[in-house]
Amino acid sequence: MKQKQDETLTLNVFTEGLWRENPVFVMLLGMCPVLAVSNTGFNALAMGLATTFVLVTSGAIVSLLRNIIPKQARIATYIIIIATFVTIVDYLIQAISLELYNALGAFIQLIVVNCIILGRAEAYASRQRLVKTVINALGMGAGFTLALLCLGIVREVLGAGSLFGIDLFGPRFEPWVIMILPAGGFIVLSLLLLGFNWINQRISARKEETGTHHAAG
């Protein structure tokens, strides 16, 4: 009985980061990189993976050390740990691909002030055990990457006529340049949020309907 409960806990722990508590669309955290790095699908994916790496590693360390980190100094400690792993991922990306590093620019180092990571460390990693923290971090990272990809793919397809670098429409395509510009980032995210809210509204409206049906019937 207890094992089954733990299992459902684990799946929920992962999926809540994807939809119900999606860090970008619901909690509106980590905006800066979402808009800046989502001008192509590839950049978006790389940024999402880098952030997930930092989420998981820093969350793991915080969770492991949660019983010895004193309360007064906890934020400072979290920040040092997060900054360490961001520095590590920064060097890793430089070593893997210089082109990618130049494309992502300073935003790799800015992962350290991504509110998602600090927020999760404070709200979750410092209270839960290692396995749960890692799985939740993976879920949050996946949700973040998903949001980044949604934006990145839309902006790249409309703004450059390609998907992950593969040309889609041929040379006659007149790209919608604004999509690659900062203004386009804001606007596309706004529209995506609109869609997200609308879907959520329909889901809760339908839930209410079935609820009243049951009450009536």
Partner 1 sequence: MQPDSLSFIFLNAALINNFVLALFLGLCPFLGVSAKLETAVPMGLATCFVMLVSSVCAYGINLILTSFHIEFLRLIAYIAVIASAAQLVEMILKKFMPGLFRALGIYLPLITTNCAILGLALFQTFKQYDFVQSLTYAIGAGAGFTLAITIMAGLRERTELANVPNVAKGAALSLMIAGLLSLSFMGFAGLGGSL
Partner 2 sequence: MTNQNEEQSPQKTPTLPMIAVLGGVAMLSGFLVVLVFQLTKPYIAENQRRATQEAVSKVIPDAVVQKQFLIADGEISPFDKDKKGLSIFAGYDAGGALLGIAAPANAQGYADMITLLYGYDHTCECIRGIRILKMAETPGLGDMIKLDPQFQKNFVRLDASLNKEGSALKNPIVTVKHGAKKNNWEIDAISGATISSRAVGKALNKSAQMLLPKLRPHLPTLRSGQPDLAKIK
Least CB distance from residue 190 to partner 1, whole Å? 4
Q: Which of 6, 12, 20, 28 binds partner 1 (CB under 8 A)?
A: 28
Q: How wide is the angle at C-alpha 101 spanned by C-alphas 97 and 18, nearest 5°?
A: 100
- Residue placing its CB nearer to partner 2 in the complex, 47 or 61: 61
Query: By the criterion CB under 8 A, which residues form the site for partner 2?
Result: 65, 68-73, 76-77, 80-81, 83-84, 87-88, 91-92, 94-98, 102, 159-160, 175, 177, 180-181
Residue type, 194: L
The alpha-carbon radius of gyration of the chain (Å, integer) is 20
Give me the least distance between CB of 161 and partner 2, in Å please.
11
Residue of 65, 103, 118, 158 interacting with partner 1 (CB under 8 A): 118
Pick one of 198, 206, 207, 212: the residue that binds partner 1 (CB under 8 A): 198
C-alpha distances out from residue 4 to 130, 136, 167, Å: 19, 18, 48
DSSP 138-204: HHHHHHHHHHHHHHHHHHHHHHHSEETTEE-S-TT----GGGTSHHHHHHHHHHHHHHHHHHHHHHH
Selection from partner 1, partner 2, none that 10 binds (CB < 5 to 8 A by kind) is none
Kindly tell me which of 138 and 193 has the beta carbon lying closer to partner 1: 193
